[in-house]
């Protein structure tokens, strides 16, 4: 009897190690972008077991039973990370219809389409900064479970904003009221109120906290740059988030609001359009990331009037679009940390990489722009140990393009190979 068990065990172990060897994938990378050292290296072999990279180098023997993926005529780089998406929706119809005839259920029904498009565009991770009805959480969880296809999502749940802010609904009769359950609108005021809202978001699954430090463009309140929370409220949001182990992202266009948010200790300034010299210095000093959506202006000015957005909004865009790009360049030149973030959802998902061209036009080198979307983005999201570069021990989030993006950055708009956690989604 004991003999039988031993023999059976022997077979079991033999087939296990065979299976293990068989489960190794080897990628032959003609060129590989080493984002940690800012270098392009040639003829690398990447070995992957299950979801992780086990080794990378030029002199690696490919195990006999490994599945080989030949990317020797491609440039291989880490999966891209977009630190500012709204992956659950995108403009598709009339401005008022979206406000009055759509519920979070409508959003939920189509969100998976955008998630798939984003992943297929080479974005293996996104930080999603604001979604209605906790759809982002449901989407994140379904992707993590493997039920649907999409990038790994770090989600903010609802945008936290003051009454009358970018996060509120403005410009309508006060007799109109939406009956969102408590907490679901994200409108919160006062130190106690904002603390409670942060707790609500965390309780419901938020990985990151997002709030409106200043007014916005695509909302009907006045003065795109004006602060919309007091210093005390911003401090409370950030410290409450910290208490729960969450980083904070501040939506901020205006110079004053940017400085207030940086002083409060946010991890990133989103948009940063009207940042001044003092704000740039303060961001540098505090190590605050700038996440600037420098492509958006193109799309908003060409499409949003057709979608019925009020002139008031279009005029706000005209006010900030150009300045945002110029100030982005100033921040880059001053050495402010830059992470890639697009606000995708303002324009169609899957177009995220269009922003690279604008980042390189306004101050970044192609390598700098790619680092912003890989190693820097991973640092901002707090996942540097897991993703952001192709090194042993990290998840096998790997993409490839035909044309070397260090020579032609727009090649990232056409990603040909996508692997997320060792699984190939596009080939």
Q: Can you give the binding site for ligand ARG, defined by CB under 6 A? A: 216-218, 271, 293, 296-297, 300, 317, 320-321, 324, 343, 346
261 C-beta neighbours (distance < 10 Å), count: 35
Give the separation between CA 1 and CA 357, rounded to whole angstroms.
70
Burial category of 169 from C-beta neighbours within 10 Å (exposed 0-12, middle 13-18, buried 19 and up): middle
For residues 79 and 227, which CB has a smaller minimum distance to ligand ARG in the complex? Answer: 227
Give the separation between CA 417 and CA 426, rounded to whole angstroms.
5
- Taking a C-beta distance cutoff of 8 angstroms, is the pair 393, 387 a contact? no
Residues whose CB is less than 8 angstroms from the CB of residue 370 and which lie 6 or more positions away in sequence, other chains included: 33, 35, 77, 356, 405, 406, 412
Report, in Å, the least distance between residue 293 CB and ligand ARG: 4
For residues 190 and 310, which CB has a smaller minimum distance to ligand ARG in the complex? Answer: 310
Between the CA atoms of 50, 51, 55 and 59, what dihedral angle is there, to the nearest 10 degrees?
A: 70
- Taking a C-beta distance cutoff of 8 angstroms, is the pair 352, 119 a contact? no
For residues 34 and 270, which CB has a smaller minimum distance to ligand ARG in the complex? Answer: 270
- Taking a C-beta distance cutoff of 8 angstroms, is the pair 364, 355 a contact? no
Give the separation between CA 228 and CA 243, rounded to whole angstroms.
23
Type and span of the H or E element at 139: helix 135-145
For residues 50 and 330, which CB has a smaller minimum distance to ligand ARG in the complex? Answer: 330
Give the separation between CA 306 and CA 300, rounded to whole angstroms.
10
Report, in Å, the least distance between residue 318 CB and ligand ARG: 9
Which residue in the block uniquely carries the two structure tokens 């907490």? Answer: 183
Report, in Å, the least distance between residue 53 CB and ligand ARG: 35
Report, in Å, the least distance between residue 73 CB and ligand ARG: 37
Report, in Å, the least distance between residue 67 CB and ligand ARG: 42
Tokens representing 170?
């403005």
For residues 218 and 237, which CB has a smaller minimum distance to ligand ARG in the complex? Answer: 218
For residues 71 and 280, which CB has a smaller minimum distance to ligand ARG in the complex? Answer: 280
**CA nearest to 47, candidates 374, 392, 385, 387:** 392
Report, in Å, the least distance between residue 343 CB and ligand ARG: 5
For residues 165 and 324, which CB has a smaller minimum distance to ligand ARG in the complex? Answer: 324
Closest residue by beta carbon to ligand ARG: 216
Report, in Å, the least distance between residue 230 CB and ligand ARG: 20
Report, in Å, the least distance between residue 277 CB and ligand ARG: 20
Give the separation between CA 124 and CA 399, rounded to whole angstroms.
9
Strands 152-155 and 67-78: unpaired
For residues 82 and 293, which CB has a smaller minimum distance to ligand ARG in the complex? Answer: 293
């Amino acid at each position: 009897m004991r003999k039988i068990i031993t023999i059976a065990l022997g077979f079991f172990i033999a087939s296990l190690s065979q299976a293990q060897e068989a489960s190794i994938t080897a990628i032959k990378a003609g060129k590989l972008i080493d984002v940690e050292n800012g270098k392009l290296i040639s003829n690398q072999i990447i070995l992957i077991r299950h979801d992780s990279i086990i080794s990378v180098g030029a002199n690696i023997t490919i195990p006999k039973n490994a599945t080989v993926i030949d990317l020797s005529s491609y440039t291989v780089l880490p999966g891209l990370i977009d630190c500012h998406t709204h992956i659950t929706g995108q403009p598709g119809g009339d401005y008022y219809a979206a406000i009055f005839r759509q519920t979070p259920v409508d959003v939920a029904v189509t969100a998976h389409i955008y998630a798939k498009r984003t992943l297929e565009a080479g974005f293996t991770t996104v930080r999603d900064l604001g979604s209605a009805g906790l759809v982002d959480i449901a989407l994140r969880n379904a992707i993590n479970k493997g039920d649907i296809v999409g990038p790994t999502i770090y989600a903010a749940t609802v945008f936290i904003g003051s009454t009358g802010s970018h996060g509120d609904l403005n410009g309508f009769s006060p007799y109109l009221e939406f009956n969102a359950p408590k907490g679901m609108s994200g409108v919160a005021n006062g130190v106690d109120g904002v603390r409670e809202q942060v707790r609500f978001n965390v309780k419901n699954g938020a990985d990151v906290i997002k709030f409106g430090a200043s007014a916005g463009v695509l909302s009907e309140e006045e003065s795109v740059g004006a602060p919309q929370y007091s210093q005390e409220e911003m401090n409370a949001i950030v410290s409450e988030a910290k208490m729960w182990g969450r980083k904070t992202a501040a939506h901020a266009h205006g110079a004053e609001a940017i400085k207030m948010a940086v002083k409060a200790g946010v991890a990133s300034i989103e948009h940063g359009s009207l940042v001044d010299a003092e704000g740039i210095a303060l961001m540098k000093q505090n190590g605050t990331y700038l996440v600037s959506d420098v492509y958006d202006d193109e799309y908003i000015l060409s499409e949003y009037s057709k979608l019925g957005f009020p002139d008031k909004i279009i005029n706000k865009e005209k006010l900030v679009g150009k300045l945002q790009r110029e100030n982005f360049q100033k921040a880059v030149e001053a050495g402010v940390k830059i992470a890639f973030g697009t606000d995708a959802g303002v324009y169609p998902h899957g177009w995220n990489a269009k922003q690279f061209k604008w980042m390189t036009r306004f101050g970044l080198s192609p390598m700098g722009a790619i680092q912003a979307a890989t190693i820097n983005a991973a640092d901002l999201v707090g996942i540097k140990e897991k993703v952001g570069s192709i090194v042993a021990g990290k998840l096998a989030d790997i993409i490839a393009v035909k044309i070397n993006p260090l020579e032609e950055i727009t090649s990232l708009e056409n990603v040909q190979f996508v692997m997320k956690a060792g699984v190939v989604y596009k080939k």
